[in-house]
Amino acid sequence: MKILVCGRNGQVAQALEHALTGLGEVHLLGREQLDQAHPERLRATLRQLAPDLLINAAAHTAVDQAESEPELAFAINAESPRVLAEEAARLGAPLIHYSTDYVFDGNKAEPYNEDDATGPLGVYGRSKLAGEQAIRAVGGKHLILRTSWVYSQHGRNFLLTMQRLLQERPQLKVVADQIGAPTWAATIAASTRALIERWHDDQAGAWGTYHLTAQGETSWFGFAQAIGEQLKARGLPCAELLPIPSSEYPTPARRPLNSRLDCSRLAREWQVSQPHWHEALIDCMK
């Protein structure tokens, strides 16, 4: 089986490189080979490689930066997924694409399920939603996996920022009124492998849109506290943490206050579930 992974330098793609070992011939392509800022240029490379499975782990994820460069965000997050879906359908290959909790406005009191109305608050969320819609419009076998609060020991993310700041400063203020599930990139990669194995063994569930996050929930403040606990357990310095509302930490892009996603459909349809966020964080920091 030939597997093509787009977004080689991203957190999820790097985790996939390890998770997919032994499944087949894995090709990880980055911007040099697949420049998703210019979607139509992707076709020639995709047709040359002719993969049996296509995984799109590439995205414009700079949420605040997207507000000032919407054309680039939509090119990468909306137009490129359309091209990938078209080429996957032409090849008869499934497409696995990662999306985000930012397609919702965060006003719901309960966790969001896949059928809830969307309502993104900014350019990033709108571009990711447009990518979902483009894939569905093309049709073909596809899995759109919405996740949230992704972190790892690579790249730029909340975990790495907190590890540094908690050791550098005596005191740190962190937003406490945004709720979600921190999700380790390795968790996403392991679940992706499980989905591929079920498809390959003719045990696939229904194709479509699913939620894939770690179990449980916390705030950014609670996430920071958990990181701090692990630092203290190692005898490392840790700043005093102070909870603040989102209003005290203004950003160019609005964030959803509720980023909780109900993942029961994925467990029911594909028999794939995820660990609790706190357990995964401990494993990651080890």
The residues annotated with a catalytic role in the active site are 124
Phi, psi for residue 128 in degrees, rounded to 5: -70, -40
**Paired tokens of 149:** 């609060």
Give the Å distances, CA to CA, from 189 to 16, 23, 41, 231, 277: 5, 13, 27, 25, 15
Q: Which residue has the tokens 């460069």?
A: 69
Beta strands in 164-234 (DSSP E): 171-175, 179-180, 183-184, 208-211, 218-219
Q: Which residue has the tokens 């190692």?
A: 234
**Paired tokens of 162:** 């907190």
How far apart, in whole angstroms, are the C-alpha atoms of residue 150 and residue 161?
13
Residue type, 205: G
